[in-house]
A and B are shown apart, each in its own frame.
Chain A
Amino acid sequence: MVSFLLIILASLFFMGFVIRTKSIASGRKGPGILQPMKDILRLWKKGSVYSNTTSFIFQIAPTAYFTSVLMAILMIPHGSNPGFISFDGDFVMFAYILTFGKFFMIISALDTGSSFEGMGASREALFSMLVEPAFFILMGSFALLTGHTSFHSIFSLLHYGSNISYMLGVLASIVFVLIAMIENSRMPVDDPKTHLELTMVHEVMILDNSGFDLGLIMYTTHLKFAMYGAIIANFFIGMLPLEISIPIFIGIQLGFAIAVGLIESFMARFRMGNNPQFIFILTSVSLLIFFGVLLVLGKFM
């Protein structure tokens, strides 16, 4: 319950901080923190244009995408406070429910019969496939470390044994920041501000969405960022009481937003063909974490 409210709250401000960081880094003053949310609100009030080619798939896809992320957020705990629903192996469900939303976004891009949108769809499908192993191995190593397989027990028991878990938390945070960048199609993989369809991933998929649907998709991106931020915060919260953990949560979300802004300001987009190699790095880092956990537990024979 706590985590759900916190994530919704964070999602309102997250992108504002990212944009403000980017403005300051490029020497501008930048818009207000709430500007991205205002844009979305305006989109929600607008009418829409639908392509003649599209079918029901195109209508329901943004909603399915939004609810899939919302359902995923319901599972995320806040330290020792569990999420709305928690069961053994819930992180498997977490990954698969997100994939469900992605599936619908991909086929909705193909639904338009556009000569551009298939491009983004194809890349999204490939990149999300490549990024999945990193998440599972990472969660697997934490499951191994704590002896539990639900988000709530993993995160509340993470720092029970030794303080080395904080080290693993830092490593895992790096992986998660990069996963979030890839899943949201942000800078090193994809440039949301580019004007050329050939170099887009996510933006080119939603070229034909407009009005309410476009607003929903954009808000889902914010939600997704806040969700990954919450997971990163969970690596450090552990069993801390609420009055300490909530400031930590806010601090980490803020740090995450600033990090995203800095990455976007100072990194160039990779060549599309080189992205898979970059994404594979994540899997190898998470494998390192896995073997690190094995070392900590003394299971090497």
Chain B
Amino acid sequence: MIEIFNLLAVVAIVSLFFFKTRGKGILALCVISLQVIIGSVVAFSVFSNGVSEYFYPGSFITGRIPIRIDYLSAWFMLIISFTFLTGAWYGSQYMKQYIDQADNITLHIVAFLLVYTALIDICIVQNGMVMLVVWEIMALSSFIVVIFEHYKKETLKAGINFLVQSHVSILFLTIAFMWAKVKTGSFDFAAIATYTSTQSAITGMGLFLCFFIGFAIKAGFVPFHTWLPLAHPAAPAHISGIMSGVIIKIGIYGILRVLLLISTDMKDIGYFIVVISVITGVYGVMLAIVQHNLKKLLAYHSIENIGIIGIGIGVGCLGLGYGNQILVFCGFGGALLHTLNHSLFKSLLFYTTGNVYQAKHTMDIEAMGGLLKRMPRSGYLFLIGSLAICGLPPFNGFVSEFFIYNGLFNGLYTKQFLPILFILFAILGLVIIGGLALVCFTKAFGIVFLGTPRVKGSQEVINESSLRIVPLYFVALAIVLIGVFPVLLSPMLQKIILLYQPAPNFQMTIQLNTLLESLTSVGWYSLGFIALTAFFYLIRHFVIAHRVITADSTWGCAYTGDASKMQYSASSFIRSYRKLAEPVLQIKRDKKEAIGLYPDRISQVTHPHDKVETWLIDKPLYLTKRLLNRFAFLQNGNVRAYILYGFIFISSAIVLPIVIDKIVLIIKFFNQL
């Protein structure tokens, strides 16, 4: 099946050149849909028939290539496939306005197909060397899809930033895989498991850290997140959705996979992941609030959600370390479920943002307002996405956060003091993340879609073609379904989690059943909430029908003129928060106040900066640049000088070994004396 899957992509890419632009789009859409069907069939057959495993002979470089599709792979295959399906359908509509850039679109389609194929292949191949090659294909092709609008300077800049950082990630992965290869002589993942189980915990920890940094750059854990807020606004909307929904999740897949392989002290790993994830989550959302570029805001929210997923993984690891099975279930279960949930609501948010962008041609929140009346369907879909991302019932975000909360509160019952302290820290982190997300999304939805337009422009209703909205309805439907019937997914989750721990003991089975019962209750409760709200809304409707209803302008304290300029703006909405968070964040403010009798126009502009980026990337880069500038004299453009360098290099390459040989000889001679 997988061969057909890959072959399909290759055939499609080759045959793409025989079509016109519109035909290319349709072909790509058909191929992606077909691939998604194949991928889902494979994944579901794994869930029903058990793990499938077979080998390719491979070459003398790679060794035998094992293809193992276990439950973890299948889960991620499903997530990736669904988001790519909706992304491709939405993207085909989104790209219509670029139809005159034929070559550019061809390149985009080729890269798009490659990203999808590579992502699925990463999930199933278990050979280090092949995985690195596929990873590289994925990194390069996602670079190409991101820089679709490469004629814009900042897009290209963001793209190159992305390219560099994804290669730093590959560097760490290469080191890790080579480490395992050198020690075991095999690229097979199974070799890593056998290797670390025979070594001390420190070795396992070191290898894990190498893998973790590699994957964390892709996933966007703080402090490796700096490419994310740049790449997301630069990419087209459907790519941002896919990137935030699944491409960064491949990092989470990597971490989960490595945790399955490496055997070391899981407690330390758990503490490490919990701390870094809480920092990631809180820092991500803190910066998200002060962003005034809608896509950048969403990008920082991806970082926050990676933090939530990370908290789940960390809690699961603590459970493994302390032998607490319910903690393992809640932690990993919450993380896996949140991975799915985040891919749903974040892609929905990015797609609707794409609609906003194509209507307004800007992403500046301050320039928007009142869009709900002009594009109602996108507006309400954005609202569903925002409610889900804030983790509010009855949507899916709540279910996964509930999972993790359950794990955390269960984790409080451990005997030791240290895990309790860490779990308290995680609870605090998760609560603060939830609260800040509320601030952020009331701002995002309220300022963009509600009120009146803050900048004068055309007021006509924007045409939201159905083709463009229908894929979003499917995503929204999935969001509500998971929110109301969370139990549907629990058999799948249980199968995945059994990979991490031995079969549940008796007490665990009871606890598991209580957990599933509470999940069922959550579902019914959410359904009841929807029903009750509808019921009371109907009552209100009938009561109001008999009353006098008048429409008037908004109360303005007797001011009846145009108040659209006096509305609350995004920066005034978060002013009190900004004052509170100023010590942590770095916000530059350009303020022009009214001075004198005839003041000029007053203005205030805030530029939020990422402190981590300044200290971790900008400062070191600046310092290295200064250091390397000292050697600028070498590059003087004089051909004779360059020949001299070549001569020096070659002669030293020949002479140095001889000299070293002699020195060794002399030392040996002295030793013999």
Contact = CB atoms under 8 A, between A and B. Distances in A.
Interface of A: 44-55, 57, 60, 62-64, 66-68, 70-71, 85, 87-90, 92-93, 96-97, 99-100, 102-103, 106-107, 109-119, 121-123, 125-126, 128-130, 132-133, 136-137, 140, 143-144, 147, 149, 197, 207-208, 211-213, 216, 272-273, 276, 290, 294, 299-301
Contacts of B387: 100, 103
A103 B442 contact: yes
Nearest to A48: B549
Contacts of A118: 446, 567-568, 572-573
B435 A71 contact: no
A50 B549 contact: yes
Contacts of B438: 99, 102-103, 106, 125, 128-129
A47 B549 contact: yes
B525 A99 contact: no
B575 interface: yes
Interface of B: 369-370, 372-373, 383, 387, 390-393, 398, 401-402, 405-406, 409-410, 412-413, 415-418, 420, 424, 427-428, 431-432, 434-436, 438-439, 441-443, 445-447, 450-452, 514-515, 517-518, 521-522, 524-525, 528-529, 532-533, 536-537, 540, 543-544, 547-557, 563-564, 566-568, 572-577, 579-580
Given A87-B522, A107-B445, A147 B413 contact: yes
Contacts of B528: 71, 85
B576 A136 contact: no
A301 B452 CA distance: 59
B551 A52 contact: yes
Nearest to A213: B540
B548 A47 contact: yes
Given A55-B373, A96-B393, A103-B392, A140 B563 contact: no
Contact of A129 (B373, B435, B517, B579): B435
A290 B293 CA distance: 40
B403 to A, nearest CB: 9
A100 B579 contact: no
Nearest to A62: B540
A63 B536 contact: yes
B369 A113 contact: yes
A67 B529 contact: yes
Given A88-B514, A129-B436, A140-B424, A97 B529 contact: yes
A129 B574 CA distance: 13
A46 B543 CA distance: 10
A89 B556 CA distance: 44
11 contacts: A49-B549, A52-B552, A67-B536, A89-B402, A96-B398, A111-B446, A113-B452, A122-B572, A211-B547, A212-B540, A213-B540
B557 A116 contact: yes
Contacts of A44: 543
Nearest to A58: B450
Contacts of A93: 393, 398, 402, 522, 525
Contact of A122 (B372, B416, B431, B575): B575
B536 A66 contact: yes
4 closest A-B pairs by CB: A118-B568, A129-B435, A47-B548, A110-B446
